């Protein structure tokens, strides 16, 4: 598994970026009618959620 070393400032900025993207992603999932695309977006949502949680630590 790849490892990424970030400074505290970089981790904070990445957390902010992903958190903001997460809310946009939720809206996109709600608007999407294509089932396959919605499934890919939901998978992406889970990944972003895990990344945000990891950055909190």
pLDDT at position 5 over 80: yes
15-52 pLDDT, tens per residue?
A: 999 999 988 999 999 999 999 999 999 999 999 999 99
pLDDT of amino acid 2: 83
pLDDT value of residue 21: 94
Quote the pLDDT of residue 57.
76
3-state SS of the chain? CCCCCCCHHHHHHHHHHHHHHHHHHHHHHHHCCCHHHHHHHHHHHHHHHHHHHHHHC
User: Going by C-beta distance under 8 Å and a sequence separation of 6 or more, which residues neighbour residue 38?
Assistant: 29, 32
Residue 44 neighbours by CB under 8 Å, 6+ apart: 25
């Amino acid at each position: 598994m790849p490892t990424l070393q970030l400074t505290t400032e970089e981790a904070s900025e990445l957390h902010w970026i992903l958190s903001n993207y997460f809310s946009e992603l939720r809206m996109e999932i709600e608007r999407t009618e294509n089932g396959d695309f919605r499934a890919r977006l939901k998978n992406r949502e889970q990944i972003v959620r895990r990344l945000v949680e990891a950055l909190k630590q």
